[in-house]
Structure 1
Amino acid sequence: MAEAIVLTVVGRLTDLLAEEAHLLNEVRDEIEQVVTELKLLQTFLRDADSRINEERVRTGVSQVRELVYDAEDVVETFLLKASSHETNGGLKNKVRRGLCGVDEFVYHHRFSKEIKHVQTGLQNLSSWFRSLNVVSTLDQGRESSSSSDTAPCKLKRFYSYAVVEPDLFVGFENDVVSLVGHLVNERDDCYPVIFICGMGGLGKTTLATKIYNHVSVKRHFEGMAWVTILQKWQPKAVLQRILISLNPKKIEEILEMEVEKLVESLLQVQQRKNCLIVLDDIWTTDVWDSIKAAFPTESCRSKLLLTSRNVDVAACVNSKCFLHEPRLLTAEQSWELLRLKALPKSDHLDTKDLKEMEKWGREMVQNCAGLPLAIVVFGGVLVTKPTFIEKVYYDSLSSLKRGAGLEENYQRQVLDILVWSYNALPTQLKLCFLYLGKFKEDEDIEVETLYQLWIAEGMVLSSDKSRGETMMEVAESYMGELVHKSMVQVKFGEDAGSQGKFKSCRLHDLMRDLSLSIAKEEDFFKTINLQKLNDNPFDPSLELTLTRQVVVYSDAEMHKSIKDNPIHVNIANKRRLRSLSYVHESFTRTTSRELGWNVANFRLLRVFSMEGVVFDIKAVSCCLVHINPGSALDNLVHLRYLSLTTDFEVFPCIQNLKLLQTLKLQADIFTDHLNSPAWMSTNILAKLKRLQHLYLPWAFYAGLPREKLRFEGLSKLETLEGFNTSWCEVKDLIKLTNLRKLTVHVRDSHEDVQEILTYLKAIATNSSSTSGSTTSCPPYVSLHIDKCRLQWQSGRDILRQLLRNQLNLCALSINGAIPELLSLFEQKPQQQDLHDHIDCLSSSLISTMTLSRSRLNHDPMPVLEKLPMLRILKLKIASFVGKKMKCSATGFPQLTHLELCQLDELEKWEVEEGSIPNLSYLLIHQSRRLQELPEGLKFLKHLQKVHLQYMSKDLSDRVRVVNGDQGLDFYKVAHVPSLVVDVDV
């Protein structure tokens, strides 16, 4: 990992020399000498990392990391000092002209002394490695020892839209058929519990997922729940998740229940309807013992599907359970799985090449011992270099054990393969992969946030940028390669902002184990669990002498015990800490307690994140860190990423954070703070010249600031969310020429809607008509309009323009009364036919639309179905108050997601054949007068899920299957894999 750290720091220093030339020019030579020494030292680190088990080599590698970080600290500290003297021509010029004070002269001397110390240390380390016969790549006469890349640090540039993964389910097809049969069997001799048991990496969860999503299973069970059992499980949380899945209408009530009440409620639900409950990855019998009271497996209509690595859990659960132990893949199945992963598009290869690849591929999978995860990861290494399969094979032999043995040997073997696949990653991806281990087990990690963290930590190299590319796009290509190599699992987004892109990612549990084990060896980051700390407030293991990154986990239960027993964490060297993240894990937020660290001491922090914590108004304090709003943030001048769930009292402090790239303020705004002198006296954001991503809070209490927030000077801003026209200056938007994502809220102001529309039209006109103009419309614009009186004549003009927009308006949400949509097009220019006139909507880019309380009397579908890009449509409470709706044969060509919620007057809905051809998800919620589902649903071949929630009993009975008897309208949705009917309980 040392090579990766050196690579990233060299990239950061090189960027600083280019971006801050006017400030660093006076010390450029000294910094460039350090960069040269770093690059020379880097040539030893590939061999050194491979010999990390040798104590003397390991000592040298550890010293490399410390010196590299020291080099960056010295340069950045000087940069920040120099920036304060920029107006006078730089620190060194002031010295020469006799304008510099004694303190400044001493500081410049100190910089020269410190940078010389670093340079000497790097030279000594190079000599040290030579004395240990560590081989430099310069001496090897080749660029890389990794078979996965012909050139080190060379990426393959896989973006989300370029990553198309084939179906990798091989060898378990018959298992699915057999287990589904057992689950839907209602005879007296049926099994109440299905138990899938086997080693890690065998595919237990994949098999369970196939069964859970099987058409027969979806149709058979009235309620379904899936819960993954974390290693740090809590009985209450497990029971809550199950009950919420089975009864989502009562989520607020469920979150307030204690364990006894949760057990009682779960028993009642399982008595009323047959449910399938999946408990994935149960580690020990203790888990079952803590929740078994909620599952009467001997006499209940419900069934359980469990997965575990521990066969002893099966006997503990139920002596009558059906135990299924998936077999290892055969040689033929192993080759087929490798082929699907590594050679998904082999049709362009000639027969000779294919035969050669098959020969080496079959040899290669012998090392995987039939374990699917190992084979897929092996294929991930090969997928970018299929023609180098022989070289990959021989390279793997030098790292892996051969042959198969007992289960422990299999597990050791798969771990060897995972380690080898990690070592085969391009250098800059190694740190990015290890970084994922910081997140919670089985957490869906939002990739937009992850990319910003990677960039803030300096893990994304600007040298990897192509012309016109942003750092976020480079980070996306990093993720694309990790996905293509099967190191990371991803989900794709469906909404307008993430359509076709990665939305979230997660690690397989074995991949997470790999990340955590390597990170621990390298002291890459430290996780602190407050439960363990509470047991021992003075735990000596909390000496974080080398750790640069710390993550702290807490929940509401912790705060109760911490209140009167503060925990003290000892940091030997506060200068080392670069990243501090605090994650509050409970369902509800809580005001937290002071623990013992003062954040002002961590002056070199690059990342400071406090998620799920509500701070006190007068003193911002959390369960790990105490912040004095008046001074603490002022000291964190190295911050690149700041995320706070706090009140705006700290907002004026951020103007000193001149290196900040991402700012997330997820909180309520208090009137007295917005009207404080600190708010009004200056343009708070103006000094944040490097700011690229800004997230402002949506909500505010009564009362508004006397002056609006200004955005002048933020020329690098790419993301702006939470822009509220009530307290943000609209006229500044035109100056944000690099915006790529803009989310705007307008509330209670018809005039503000008009002003936003004028802005969107202006930048669209400028970008299309001005040659060479740098002003362009953001690729993604989301507009939320709340109670803005659009029902009058001027509102018609606004709504007509929004629907016909060529303004990159991708998402539109309107809450409040609006004109009848057909009336917008009643004035037919040149006597055009009405529908021809509506066809002017063909230029609209709206892909997500939400209407609520619109009070439309006439069917809105004839207009909405003409929006060509519309993919998500949500008609919520009282948006339509008529009795009949109709979707015509050519309507909604792209719609995939449709929600009809609380349409109290709706009695009939028609869907003609050919309408909504791509619909995959349909939700109808509390529209109790709807008499039946439309006949046209039977034509929707892509429909994957129909969710009927709290509809009339008559409609629910018409589509359900009860004790094998199909309802009268079941044939309309018989082809849908997932039919969920929730009824009032």
Structure 2
Amino acid sequence: MAEAIVSMVVGRLTDLLNEEAHLLQGVRAEIEQVVDKLKWMKTFLHGADSRIDEQRVRVLVAEVRDLVYDAENVVESFLLKASSTERHRTNGGLRNVVKRGVDAFDAYLYHHKFSREIKNLLAGMDNLLNCFRDYKILSTLEGQAASSSDTTPGKLKRFYSYAVVEPDFFVGFQKNLATLLPLLVDRGEDCYPVIFICGMGGLGKTTLANKMYNHSSIKSHFEAVAWVTISQKWQPRAVLQRILVSLVPEKKEETLQLEVDKLVENLLEIQQQKNCLIVLDDMWTNDAWDSIKAAFPTESSGSKLLLTSRNVDLAAHVNSKCFIHKPQLLDAEQSWELLRLKALPKADHLGSRDLKEMEKLGREMVNYCKGLPLAIVVLGGVLVTKPTFIEWEKVYYDSQSSLKRGKGLGEDYQREVMDILVWSYNVLPAQLKLCFLYLGKFREDEEIKAETLYQLWIAEGLVLSSDKSGEETMMEVAESYMGELVHKSMVQVKLENTPFSQRKFESCRLHDLMRDLSLYIAKREDYFEVINLQKLNDFHADPVVDLAYTRQVVIHSQVGEYESINDNPFHVSKANKRRLRSLLLFPCESTTRWSSWNYTETLRWNVAHFRFLRVFALEDVDIPITSVSSFLFRINPGIAVGSLVYLRYLSIKTSFLWFPSIQNLELLQTLKLEADSGAHELYFPPWMSTNILGKMGRLRHLYLPLELNGMKGKKLRFDALSKLETLEDFNTCWCEVKDLVKLTNLRKLTVHVYSYSALQVMMKYLQAISSSSASSSGSSTLSVPYVSLRVNIYNLCSRKGPDFLRKLLTSPSNLYDLRVEGYIPELLPLFEQKQQQQDIHNYIDALSSSCITTLTLSRSGLVDDPMPVLEKLPVLRTLELCVRSFSGKKMTCSATGFLQLTNLQLHQLVELREWRVEEGSMPNLSCLKISQVMKLEELPEGLKFLKNLQNVCLQDLSRDLCDKVRRANGEQGPDFYKVAHVASLDL
């Protein structure tokens, strides 16, 4: 891995030379000398890696890694100093003239210090190069064969295409499916209450269970389904919550407040009332089952359990009457078929001779995988990027020298599988190696938000600007890295289904074997350290952990909301405070918040001393004013965070943070100040300048809090943030709207509007975006691909309403998400009036240019049916009519309306009695939720025509309506035929 680290540091220093050339004048030659020496040193590391078992070589490689990091730190320190000097040089005023003189002299001294440090670095490199020669380790330029891994920090060769979604490969499991499906839907007296799928990791247990879980026969048979992954780190309360939320989603908020005994009670009740299928994936131990078994009926019921586990002995412990199914390893033909589908999706360009030779090599290589699907797919992920026979032949010989022939099952077998996974990692390009390892920082089975992950990768310096293509942003380059990892089957992803989203992937996760691989390599190379506080507590481990060499630390807490841990202090050695570059602190569950007491007693650190941090994330932490003198912020919290001048990524989701020294973070790229409204608000000192963000010129992604106290009529300025790409929760009450026109690189914007004057400015801004997008001159760069607008119109004059609403609904700009809360005029007259003024024959023309894909109306007070207007929005995908948005009695969706709509929610429409859906309306609707519409008399007849409808949730409706669909005893009602085709019906 040292080879990859050197490659990435060389890439980062090269980027700095190109991007910050004006700040590095006078020292450029010295930095280039360091880069050249690092490139030369890298050529020895492949040979060193082959002898890494030798203690002296392992120490040598560790010294190389430390020296490389030191080189990066020296250059970055100089860059920060040069940036500060440059800023003072451009300021005016007598005071700043004096300051410029002091800075110039200071810079002169610092230049000499920098030169001295560079000389020390070069001398250290020469010493290490002599060690390589003394140990008889050759450079790849001195005759040794080059590595098969492309570790050159040049442009990454991309193979992944977003235009083609890779299909699911389901080879060798058809018989398993045919065996298990009838058992799941069987209600006979001798039926099995539990189906237990067991086998080794990577066998495809979860894939098989998921195939059944989503099968049409399962969806039609069971009234409610739930899927929960247990894994090795489980919390009974969190597991039971997830199950109950899945079975009764309409009671999510109530469920999250329940304690274990109430969760058990509710789960037992719902399983007796409904036929439920509950999947417990990846169950490991008897203890895990014992902690939740009280929630499952011991007597017969229509509900069933489906479990997957590596532990076959667990089956008898769960239920003596369970059906145990052990999927078999793939045979030779099935193995080749799976490899062929993955590695040769398109073989049209190959001749028959090459194809035959590649099949011969492929069959030999797939033998190493011993029929394990995960290993085969990973091998295919390597081969799919090698489209020719010559490349396959090279992989074949490389694999033969790296992997050993199989010796049977047991420990040898597991070792061989790990050998394949390690080899697949070793052949990754340098850019992808560290990105893959980084995923091991996150919890087992965690769905990692792609946007956050990309920002972390960039902040850590893992994404190289040299990999940009055309006008790509660094976020787009990071997503291309993810695409490559997906294509190589190293990572599992969930696709983003929001239209016009800036991201192709919504989230990602690692298979547990791939996570084991990541943690194994990270530990071996001392790349990062994952600390579990609950584990330290459970095993009474020494709370003083010496992380002498680790530069990246991740802390996971298993502490629940109502639990506590022992009051053991936890320290980091003083020597590591200068070494630490990344510090992530995460609670175990998204519903868990760490209390300031637990922080104080558990982590006695002073973050201000970790002054070289690049990444700092402090997630879901309550630090009230009374506690700011303890734990992290022993001094003023703003000063503590402000001293971390090397930060690229800062995420603080707390109830208290001052701004004063945040302006010192000149290198910051991502700033997340996402605090909940109400009790969790951020405070702005009254004496502070509103231009506090002005010095953060490198900021790309800014997430503001919902509330910012202490502004008192002031407004934050954003005019200096010309590189900003993401700006979320921009609030017109305390943010200067006029500055938006200066943010020419914005890609995503979310705005909350609370005044008519601010709305007028926003309308002009949206028009400017439209004009810029339509311009063919190319000189204007004011084009925001995605705008989300939340308008609160309670403070707007009603007579001004029609104009703004008509303009918003017909806006040709990139306004995709519109949420309007408050009274609005009737919709149809707005467009009829416009039609008369412009002599338009059809108001459809006025809506045809709309880009709105998500529309939410709340408290609108509409009396006339809004559907004739809304159904003409051409790309509308999600519509939510909430809380008295419509107070009429009848609503109709016409045959030609809502052609793109996929999600519809009707909530608290208290007067609605009749809803008609004509045949042909909403042909793509997949999700429908109706809640608290108590006067609705029946479901529309037209629902039976909605062939794509997958999920229907009916919550808090009249008893008569519910009985028409399904009676209290579970029998079908007279109107059930309207939704009989729906896969999931929650009633």
Q: Would you say same fold, with TM above 0.5? A: yes
1:585 to 584, 588, 591: 588
Contact 1:160/1:500 (<8 A) preserved: no
Indicate whether 1:519 and 2:522 are aligned. yes
Q: Give the Cα separation in 1 of the matches to 2:86 and 2:802.
A: 53
1:489 to 481, 489, 492: 492
Per-residue CA shift, 1:488-510, capped at 9, x if unaligned? Answer: 11111223463771111111111
Paired residues for 1:953-968 under 5 Å: 953-960=959-966, 966-968=972-974
Q: What amino acid is the match of 2:764?
A: T
Distance change >3 Å, CA 562–CA 238, structure 1 → 2 = closer
Residue number in structure 2 paired with 1:783: 789
Residue number in structure 1 paired with 2:280: 279
Indicate whether 1:850 and 2:862 are aligned. no
Indicate whether 1:744 and 2:727 are aligned. no
Q: Give the Cα separation in 1 of the matches to 2:779 and 2:110.
A: 44
Give 1:35 deviation, angstroms: 0.8
Give 1:944 deviation, angstroms: 2.7
Residue number in structure 1 paired with 2:148: 145
Residue number in structure 1 paired with 2:124: 121
Point out the more displaced range, 55-64 or 291-300: 291-300
Q: Give the Cα separation in 2 of the matches to 1:761 and 1:8.
A: 43
Point out the more displaced range, 257-266 or 39-48: 257-266
| Local SS of the residue matching 2:24 | helix
Contact 1:199/1:407 (<8 A) preserved: no
Question: Percent of counterpart pairs with the same letter?
Answer: 67
1:450 to 450, 453, 458: 453
Residue number in structure 2 paired with 1:938: 944
Distance change >3 Å, CA 270–CA 833, structure 1 → 2 = farther
Give 1:959 deviation, angstroms: 3.9
Contact 2:835/2:842 (<8 A) preserved: no
Contact 2:468/2:477 (<8 A) preserved: yes
Per-residue CA shift, 1:659-702, capped at 9, x if unaligned? Answer: 011111012689998563442x351000001111111012356x
Q: What amino acid is the match of 1:134?
A: I
Q: Give the Cα separation in 2 of the matches to 1:758 and 1:540.
A: 58
| Local SS of the residue matching 1:827 | helix
| Local SS of the residue matching 1:398 | helix
Paired residues for 1:578-657 under 5 Å: 578-586=581-589, 587-592=591-596, 593-594=599-600, 595-617=603-625, 619-620=627-628, 628-647=636-655, 649-657=657-665
1:130 to 118, 129, 133: 133
Give 1:930 deviation, angstroms: 2.9
Residue number in structure 1 paired with 2:94: none
Indicate whether 1:732 and 2:739 are aligned. yes
**What are the ranges of 5 or more consecutive residues in structure 1 without an aligned counterpart?**
none
Q: Give the Cα separation in 1 of the matches to 2:550 and 2:422.
A: 22
Per-residue CA shift, 1:852-910, capped at 9, x if unaligned? Answer: 22222222222122112212222222222222222222222222222222323333333
| Local SS of the residue matching 1:346 | coil
Paired residues for 1:379-778 under 5 Å: 379-387=380-388, 388-403=391-406, 405-496=408-499, 498=501, 501-534=504-537, 539=542, 542-557=545-560, 561=564, 565-586=568-589, 587-592=591-596, 593-594=599-600, 595-617=603-625, 619-620=627-628, 628-647=636-655, 649-667=657-675, 676-679=685-688, 681-700=689-708, 704-747=711-754, 749-766=755-772, 768-769=774-775, 771-778=777-784
RMSD of aligned residue pairs (Cα, Å): 2.9
Indicate whether 1:22 and 2:22 are aligned. yes
Q: Give the Cα separation in 1 of the matches to 2:955 and 2:101.
A: 78
Q: What amino acid is the match of 1:293?
A: A
Contact 2:7/2:153 (<8 A) preserved: no
Contact 1:789/1:818 (<8 A) preserved: no
Residue number in structure 1 paired with 2:985: 980
Paired residues for 1:93-104 under 5 Å: none
Point out the more displaced range, 482-491 or 340-349: 340-349
Q: What amino acid is the match of 2:542?
A: D
Q: What amino acid is the match of 1:376?
A: V
1:903 to 909, 924, 929: 909
Q: Give the Cα separation in 1 of the matches to 2:886 and 2:159.
A: 44
Q: Give the Cα separation in 2 of the matches to 1:272 and 1:627.
A: 57
Contact 1:334/1:372 (<8 A) preserved: yes
Distance change >3 Å, CA 790–CA 893, structure 1 → 2 = farther
Per-residue CA shift, 1:726-750, capped at 9, x if unaligned? Answer: 0000011111111111110113x23
Contact 2:228/2:280 (<8 A) preserved: yes
Q: What amino acid is the match of 2:319?
A: N
1:821 to 827, 832, 837: 827
Indicate whether 1:230 and 2:238 are aligned. no
Q: Give the Cα separation in 2 of the matches to 1:128 and 1:903.
A: 78
Distance change >3 Å, CA 852–CA 828, structure 1 → 2 = closer
Per-residue CA shift, 1:830-851, capped at 9, x if unaligned? Answer: 6989872223211111111111
Q: Give the Cα separation in 2 of the matches to 1:411 and 1:50.
A: 22
Point out the more displaced range, 226-235 or 601-610: 226-235
Q: What amino acid is the match of 2:417?
A: V
Point out the more displaced range, 914-923 or 864-873: 914-923
Residue number in structure 1 paired with 2:114: 111
Q: Give the Cα separation in 2 of the matches to 1:863 and 1:348.
A: 51
Residue number in structure 2 paired with 1:198: 199
Q: What amino acid is the match of 1:943?
A: L
Point out the more displaced range, 856-865 or 619-628: 619-628
Q: Give the Cα separation in 1 of the matches to 2:29 and 2:610.
A: 29
Per-residue CA shift, 1:769-789, capped at 9, x if unaligned? Answer: 583434322001000112346
| Local SS of the residue matching 1:71 | helix
Distance change >3 Å, CA 616–CA 939, structure 1 → 2 = same
Residue number in structure 1 paired with 2:370: 369
Contact 1:619/1:629 (<8 A) preserved: no
Indicate whether 1:346 and 2:354 are aligned. no
Residue number in structure 2 paired with 1:889: 895
Distance change >3 Å, CA 153–CA 35, structure 1 → 2 = closer
Point out the more displaced range, 562-571 or 715-724: 562-571
Q: What amino acid is the match of 1:225?
A: A
Distance change >3 Å, CA 832–CA 14, structure 1 → 2 = closer
Q: Give the Cα separation in 1 of the matches to 2:527 and 2:130.
A: 26
Point out the more displaced range, 812-821 or 469-478: 812-821
Per-residue CA shift, 1:108-151, capped at 9, x if unaligned? Answer: 433222221111111222232233333323234876423xx697
Per-residue CA shift, 1:791-811, capped at 9, x if unaligned? Answer: 834211111111111111011
Contact 2:606/2:631 (<8 A) preserved: no
Residue number in structure 2 paired with 1:171: 172
Residue number in structure 2 paired with 1:75: 75
Contact 1:675/1:706 (<8 A) preserved: no
Q: Give the Cα separation in 1 of the matches to 2:42 and 2:967.
A: 66
Point out the more displaced range, 413-422 or 822-831: 822-831
**What are the ranges of 5 or more consecutive residues in structure 2 without an aligned counterpart?**
91-96
Residue number in structure 2 paired with 1:929: 935
| Local SS of the residue matching 1:851 | strand
Contact 2:690/2:716 (<8 A) preserved: no
Distance change >3 Å, CA 695–CA 102, structure 1 → 2 = closer
Give 1:323 deviation, angstroms: 0.5
TM-score normalised according to structure 2 size: 0.93
Q: What amino acid is the match of 2:742?
A: K
Residue number in structure 1 paired with 2:361: 360
Per-residue CA shift, 1:643-671, capped at 9, x if unaligned? Answer: 11235642121101110111110126899
Q: Give the Cα separation in 1 of the matches to 2:239 and 2:481.
A: 34
Distance change >3 Å, CA 971–CA 791, structure 1 → 2 = farther
Distance change >3 Å, CA 626–CA 158, structure 1 → 2 = farther
Distance change >3 Å, CA 324–CA 958, structure 1 → 2 = farther
